[in-house]
Structure 1
Amino acid sequence: MAATLPGCAALAPREAGVDRRLADLPRAGLDLRRPVTVRWNDHLVPWIEAETDADLAFALGLVHGHLRGAQVSLLRMVARGRLSEMAGPFARDIDHALRVLDFGRAAPAIEAAWPAETQEFVHAFLAGLNHALLRGRRPPEFGLLGLSPEPFTVADMLAVGRLAGTDINWLAYFSLLAERGNPGFTRLWRRTLEAGAGLADPAEHAGADPKRAALGSILAGVSRSGSNAVAVAPSRSASGGALLASDPHLGLSLPNLWLVAGMRSPSFHAVGMMVPGLPIIGLGRNPGVAWGGTNLRAASSDLFDVSRLPPSAFAESETVIRQRLWFRARRKVRTTTLGPVVTDAPPVPSRNGEALALRWAGHEPTDEITALLRAVRAPDAEAFRESFARFGVSPQNMLYADRAGTIGRVTAAVLPGRAGFPADGPVLDGNDPAATAPWDRLRDARDLPRLENPPEGVIASANENPNTWAEDPPPIGWFFSDGDRVERLRQLLLAKPKLTPADMAALQMDTRAPKAAALAAGLLARFDALPGGPPEPAMLARLRGWDGDYAENSEAALVFELLLGKLVPALLPEGRSGGGRGAETGWNFLTTFALRDLDALPPERREAALRAAAAEAAPLAARYRTWGEVHRLRAAHWLVNAPVVGRRFVFGTYPVGGSRETPMKTGHGLVSGPHEVSFGSMARFVSDLADPDANWFTLFGGQDGWLGSAAFADQVPLWREGRGIRVPLRPATVAAEFPRATVLSPR
């Protein structure tokens, strides 16, 4: 009986080997001008050889649709605010918020401004994608979610691109909006600016509001919000060629939010990582240049109070939300010249019914597709750098290295020409011309900081504040990484006179956080100063001498995190302990304020807080011995969030090292016992410019999104062991290492 139910193919998928999956690829009667050869390795990485650029684009789209058709369809549903069509009424308010944010708002203007070469490439890509979506086998998830195949449009593609470019400052904005009006808000905002609030778990930001938590998890999970990237000059490279390594940080769900591909046509010759459903390489390598990026964490948005604008300033429409197994819902969407009114959506908190509009660079007609299509064809560093003049979202630190030995960094973003950030809160007055004027003078990559060939011969980026590397940068943001990762990356890069690709791969696996060691030493000093000596001396002995290494087998890391988990809530202002939720439990706040706030307590309260934290942590430290026992990496399909059947989509949990701000990022909040990591270093890339074939990629998961496929999660062991898959550029090497050949035939 169960076998006849819709979705049983997803709940009990059939195993499909690599050859079976290749046999299912549509290969005849295609909208091609000439035959195209797609070579495959054992991990289902495609290497496409086409005689025309348009045929390459079509084949790329076909491969995306074949390998990741269900994922592409889901990304469209998120970007378009159509989750209720799968999840029913629970997602209604989330859909309302997504439609207010309107990721496709700028699509018509963007498409109208595309040069002819971009138009041709995109439309050919979509033709291939739609051929796979509409004529290929139906993915197992469709029955479970109640989905039917439908064509993917230019507007859909651009909306997905904008979704991936979400301004991660929104997560902090929404958290702070919930606090506005409460006592101490001005202090909280000023401390946020001082700390440079880091990216905490969206559920931690959202407190008890499940819909705000769900919205935050969606935006954090699909946006390019983290990452590490390093570039090494030939003078510091063992091969004599520049090196580049990059590992993006995103949600750790399967299938991965990247797929790996190689390609060659008259204009294109490259290998790299692509977002499913988008025709561009986000990080990768061509014969002349390698590149990778990290999120700039720039404030590409502003919130404006538009409550006092006249009624004529608002354009109002009604959106209809279809709900699975339920009636349709109708919701209001209002827009102004300062952006959509985001507080009309229930997941976005408002104070006394005020109307707040969001002005976002992603609603401007910036052109990331053309920028990255030009970057992938760039023969050298100069051409690569100049490709980003109209690149807007998400703001990126783009690192690059070329075959001639140049290494550099370009700030790829479109940002308002601000003079600074307000001292009392994130909401600006929509009636104040001085507040709105910065949006009349937008800055782009030509006006923002850049760096090339620094004397030390290395460049590292990890979402840090540009003030740490650029001279007199304009006001860019306030929501940066703590700086721990970039400090550790630089330590590793400068520790050896000559570096190899193996060193780059080891750097991506590093689990040390220097500021964690400093904070632990500070806590121990305060425990030791207590009258009568420190409490729980056996537990604290496991922490002494710790160097900040969150290795899987570390006892010290476990003790440190358990102590923080019990101590930090006691340091929060009254009324905001809430189990240790909110921006004030983020790593930036902890490293900036934890010891300062502890020392500011009256001596009796400080002693009581320390003793209570030790007493509460001790039983947990006795029950669990190592960090990996409580810090677990979950390999799970994104359907794990589905009610009732979700746990059927967990494929395994593993002990893992790393933490919030280690180079191998495995994010988490305050720790009170076993927990699962859902955000972190989910893909890796290393390249040596001395050798066109020296390019290695690894995904947390696998290439194929088809449930039951042999290539669905086959790279998880490689990811855990720090090994990569070589994806070469030389045709002879490609032929040898990608032995399976599929010929795509025109009509």
Structure 2
Amino acid sequence: MAEGSGRRPGAAMLLALLALLPGCAALAPKPTGIEQRLATLPRQGLALQGPVTIRWNRHLVPWIEARSDHDLAYALGLVHGHLRGGQVALLRMVARGRLSEMAGPLARDYDHALRILDFARAAPEIERRWPPETRAFMEAFLAGLNHSVATGPRPPEFGLLGLRPEPFTLTDLLAIGRLAGTDVNWLSYFSLLAERGKPGFAAAWRRTLEAGANIPPTGEASLPGMLNNFARAGSNAVAVAPSHSASGAALLASDPHLGLSLPNLWLLAGMRSPSFHAVGMMIPGLPIIGLGRNPDLAWGGTNLRAASSDLFDISRLPPEGFTESEAVIRQRFWFPARRRVRVSPEGPVLTDASVVPSRPNEPIALRWAGQEPADEITALLRAARARDGAAFRASFGDFAVSPQNMLYADRGGRIGRLTAAILPSRQGFPAEGPVLDATDPAATGPWRRLRRAGDLPALEDPPEGVLASANENPTSWVKDPPPIGYFFSDGDRVARLRALLLAKPRLGPEDLAALQRDTVAPKAAVLAAGLLARIEALPGGPPLPDFLAPLRGWDGDYAAGSRAALVFEAILARLLPGLLPEGRGARGPETGWNFITTFLLRDLDALPAERRATLLRRAVEEAAPAAPPGRVWGDVHRLRAAHWLVNLPVLGRAFVLGDMPVGGSRETPMKTGHGLVTGPHEVSFGSMARFVADLSDPDHNWFTLFGGQDGWLGSAAFADQIPLWREGRSIRLPLRPATVAAEFPLVTELRP
């Protein structure tokens, strides 16, 4: 989020001054062992009802045993605060529009946009509607989190960012939850706002709809650029029926695709209390398991890519229907700023923020399902207690954001998927652009009649015995679905997952773990073969035959050691700009994989023969120096391990732990996202956590994070799972108490 601000005058001087301030231990963190970290967990003054035992493994994964649900929630809050207190504090600053309190005036305009979005807008009504058990669990979790914040050690990065320990509120936690539910379509919407009205927009919109692609932000100094790590949600999830399982029980695997900065956006935990017995991945600052396992059921999911938002032109709405308030934005090193925040009948007025692209006299509002008083907390607390697929499906009736494809497998052998979302009851999508007329009842009416999980596609026990989800268009698995979204992931990834699942008659956990590390993109092989055929058919023969040789018979594998992947991407990066519409840059909307697979060969063949030949020859000749002999994909495709403070200008490089060669690409099962490849580049988005479960045994659950459990800079558990992630190894999180006692040998006893 600081990348765009790094281009502004004064940023370098400001951050250089920060380095001189006291308390900047983040710049040179002291190595801290596991025992040292456990010794600083607060143990005095705990508001517990009885004793709690926390067992830890050597990766600082906690397994909490409590005699009451209250004490489990309290201990979870304590652990979240201890391991990830700095991260939760940062998430609050983003969710509440308080970045200027860390970065000063450089972040003021972003804060204004975040105050307009107001991730906490629905919080009061959500709290009012909570069932008593949800309220009690949340309040206990909050108490534990705040006790850790108040009595535990101050995170090293607080000094650098000018932060002080500050109690959290339930509203803060709900705002963090809604931030995590950011609509992936915003990236496209805001980029399209900048293009509307320009020559060629109508044609570009038609191509966008045909490709079905999420459009990346066209620049970093923008609201979508700032929200990138939160909105770029991908993921894979698969389920296998007992008929295809080597163990005779159902299997499930799930691997989320999000930002690859450290600490990870997930936290591993195990837990047992009267109502809960589960292991899984949790969002820091929230007491819910997003994907995991209890004795009877395993679950995971992928982002649905549903259009849970609409943009409305509100220029013709009567002004008396608007409410207006003033946001006071406190700024580090400067005076407070005051900004207007307006809310229309169709949502907050986004274009009042200068970082949102707009046209003169056309105010635009955002209507988002995240502004509805839905209840993801209760949904996921109930899901964690579900004992079969039917109970799991019933948990999601009030789940809104971010819309999810949820997959499950239960001990009875059933596998299934459901659509967890709240969406307007649209009849279709506009053909002329993404901005709707707020005075048109046909545009606003769908928001008065919302569809919930029970009204949306679901599937159980498919005849093939396998399920796969990879952010694909729902039309690939259900006939005649209701209108759900514009932009979905390319079908390449889900097709590859299904092919791997069906390639063997019986699958085991090791097969699903291998699937999560697969680096093949079948459509890349098709495109490479198509390009090679056209190059070899050029008059006078192909240029540089030896350079092109690796592409002959290439299967689309982006392994780190692949020569063909590098040659293909080098040619693609030099060819595609010549095919883009005039005025489109090499980072524009038509450089995404959906656009490439949909239009590359078609656009190439539509050119006059002479022009096509010129582009192809030039692309090959310019690509050759970028991929010299001996160089392979991993030489340029680098995975950076870095703390999120790497985004700071000047000082950011101090938070890079290193980079390493990595396989994968935009739409391989092991996603490692990138744009056009003009040289060495760093991957900052992709496969960042893994989970595999075999329902034949309650102990057969394996997890890995890119990074580590502990967010404390210098901790031995800050990045200790990166070798596991690279080598395909994992950490077992068992459910049997005896196994937990044996494999989680470090014990912390908490008492009231």
Q: TM-score, normalised by structure 2?
A: 0.97
Q: Alpha carbons of 1:260 and 1:462: their partners in 2 closer, same or farther (altered >3 Å)?
A: same
The C-alpha deviation readout for 1:267-310, integer Å capped at 9, x for no partner, is 00000000000010000000011000000000000000001112
Local SS of the residue matching 2:327: strand
Q: Alpha carbons of 1:661 and 1:125: their partners in 2 closer, same or farther (altered >3 Å)?
A: same
Question: Following the alignment from structure 2 to structure 1, what is the Cα–Cα distance between the partners of residues 241 and 630?
Answer: 44
Contact persistence 1:224–1:295 (CA under 8 A): no
Contact persistence 1:397–1:412 (CA under 8 A): yes
**1:421: which partner in 2?**
429
After the TM superposition, which residues 143-162 of structure 1 pair with which residues of structure 2 at under 5 Å, given as runs?
Answer: 143-162=159-178
Tell whether 2:537 aligns with 1:529. yes
Deviation at 1:67, TM superposition (A): 0.2
User: Which moves more between the two structures, 145-154 or 306-315?
Assistant: 306-315
Question: Following the alignment from structure 1 to structure 2, what is the Cα–Cα distance between the partners of residues 488 and 194?
Answer: 22
After the TM superposition, which residues 190-201 of structure 1 pair with which residues of structure 2 at under 5 Å, given as runs?
Answer: 190-198=206-214, 200=216
**1:275: which partner in 2?**
283
**1:665: which partner in 2?**
671
Tell whether 2:728 aligns with 1:727. no
**1:369: which partner in 2?**
377
Contact persistence 1:542–1:556 (CA under 8 A): yes
**1:584: which partner in 2?**
590
Deviation at 1:323, TM superposition (A): 1.3
Q: Alpha carbons of 1:526 and 1:224: their partners in 2 closer, same or farther (altered >3 Å)?
A: closer
The C-alpha deviation readout for 1:532-558, integer Å capped at 9, x for no partner, is 111121211122111000000000000
Question: Following the alignment from structure 1 to structure 2, what is the Cα–Cα distance between the partners of residues 683 and 53?
Answer: 27
Question: Following the alignment from structure 2 to structure 1, what is the Cα–Cα distance between the partners of residues 215 and 23?
Answer: 35
Question: Following the alignment from structure 1 to structure 2, what is the Cα–Cα distance between the partners of residues 729 and 428?
Answer: 50
User: Which moves more between the two structures, 621-630 or 713-722?
Assistant: 621-630
The C-alpha deviation readout for 1:157-183, integer Å capped at 9, x for no partner, is 000000000001000011111110011
Deviation at 1:3, TM superposition (A): 10
Question: Following the alignment from structure 1 to structure 2, what is the Cα–Cα distance between the partners of residues 193 and 705?
Answer: 41
**1:184: which partner in 2?**
200
Deviation at 1:599, TM superposition (A): 0.9
**2:394: which partner in 1?**
386
Deviation at 1:51, TM superposition (A): 0.2
**2:618: which partner in 1?**
612
Question: Following the alignment from structure 1 to structure 2, what is the Cα–Cα distance between the partners of residues 512 and 3?
Answer: 44
Local SS of the residue matching 1:206: coil
Which residue, 674, 690, 715 being the options, matches 2:696? 690
Which residue, 417, 435, 438 being the options, matches 1:409? 417
Question: Following the alignment from structure 1 to structure 2, what is the Cα–Cα distance between the partners of residues 419 and 462?
Answer: 25
**2:510: which partner in 1?**
502
Q: Alpha carbons of 1:459 and 1:199: their partners in 2 closer, same or farther (altered >3 Å)?
A: farther
Which residue, 181, 204, 218 being the options, matches 1:206? 218
Which residue, 430, 434, 456 being the options, matches 2:464? 456
Question: Following the alignment from structure 2 to structure 1, what is the Cα–Cα distance between the partners of residues 369 and 451?
Answer: 11
Quick one: which amino acid aligns to residue 206 of structure 2? R
Tell whether 2:148 aligns with 1:132. yes
Question: Following the alignment from structure 2 to structure 1, what is the Cα–Cα distance between the partners of residues 430 and 136?
Answer: 45
Question: Following the alignment from structure 2 to structure 1, what is the Cα–Cα distance between the partners of residues 524 and 729?
Answer: 27
Contact persistence 1:464–1:480 (CA under 8 A): yes
Contact persistence 1:231–1:401 (CA under 8 A): yes
**2:13: which partner in 1?**
none
**2:642: which partner in 1?**
636
Which residue, 517, 529, 549 being the options, matches 2:525? 517
**1:333: which partner in 2?**
341
Structure 1: stretches of 5+ with no match in the other structure: none
Tell whether 2:611 aligns with 1:601. no
Deviation at 1:199, TM superposition (A): 5.8
**2:711: which partner in 1?**
705
Deviation at 1:624, TM superposition (A): 6.4
Local SS of the residue matching 2:749: strand
User: Which moves more between the two structures, 218-227 or 299-308?
Assistant: 218-227
Quick one: which amino acid aligns to residue 80 of structure 2? H
Local SS of the residue matching 2:653: helix
Contact persistence 1:199–1:481 (CA under 8 A): no
Local SS of the residue matching 2:453: coil
Deviation at 1:609, TM superposition (A): 1.2
Deviation at 1:97, TM superposition (A): 1.1
Contact persistence 1:339–1:359 (CA under 8 A): yes
Question: Following the alignment from structure 2 to structure 1, what is the Cα–Cα distance between the partners of residues 231 and 285?
Answer: 15
Tell whether 2:265 aligns with 1:257. yes
Deviation at 1:211, TM superposition (A): 2.1
Which residue, 407, 410, 434 being the options, matches 1:399? 407
**1:45: which partner in 2?**
61
Question: Following the alignment from structure 1 to structure 2, what is the Cα–Cα distance between the partners of residues 689 and 647?
Answer: 44
Contact persistence 1:220–1:250 (CA under 8 A): no
**1:481: which partner in 2?**
489
Tell whether 2:114 aligns with 1:102. no
Deviation at 1:603, TM superposition (A): 1.6
Question: Following the alignment from structure 2 to structure 1, what is the Cα–Cα distance between the partners of residues 158 and 574?
Answer: 44
Quick one: which amino acid aligns to residue 147 of structure 2? H
Contact persistence 2:187–2:214 (CA under 8 A): no
Tell whether 2:551 aligns with 1:539. no
Question: Following the alignment from structure 2 to structure 1, what is the Cα–Cα distance between the partners of residues 400 and 267?
Answer: 23
The C-alpha deviation readout for 1:194-241, integer Å capped at 9, x for no partner, is 1101364xxxx223xx421xx324423124711000000001000111
**2:35: which partner in 1?**
19
Question: Following the alignment from structure 1 to structure 2, what is the Cα–Cα distance between the partners of residues 353 and 95?
Answer: 23
Contact persistence 1:7–1:145 (CA under 8 A): no
What's the C-alpha RMSD, in Å, of the aligned pairs?
Answer: 1.3
**1:651: which partner in 2?**
657
Q: How many residues align?
A: 736
Q: TM-score, normalised by structure 1?
A: 0.97
Question: Identity of aligned pairs, percent?
Answer: 76
User: Which moves more between the two structures, 215-224 or 645-654?
Assistant: 215-224
Question: Following the alignment from structure 1 to structure 2, what is the Cα–Cα distance between the partners of residues 687 and 372?
Answer: 18
Local SS of the residue matching 2:227: helix
Question: Following the alignment from structure 1 to structure 2, what is the Cα–Cα distance between the partners of residues 143 and 102?
Answer: 27
Local SS of the residue matching 1:622: coil
The C-alpha deviation readout for 1:591-618, integer Å capped at 9, x for no partner, is 0001111111122211111111112111
Contact persistence 1:272–1:285 (CA under 8 A): yes
The C-alpha deviation readout for 1:479-518, integer Å capped at 9, x for no partner, is 1000111000001000001001000100000000001100
The C-alpha deviation readout for 1:96-141, integer Å capped at 9, x for no partner, is 1111111110000101000000000000000000000111100000
Deviation at 1:4, TM superposition (A): 8.1
Question: Following the alignment from structure 1 to structure 2, what is the Cα–Cα distance between the partners of residues 382 and 59?
Answer: 30
User: Which moves more between the two structures, 616-625 or 340-349?
Assistant: 616-625
Question: Following the alignment from structure 1 to structure 2, what is the Cα–Cα distance between the partners of residues 662 and 12?
Answer: 37
Which residue, 114, 117, 120 being the options, matches 2:133? 117
Deviation at 1:27, TM superposition (A): 1.4
**2:445: which partner in 1?**
437
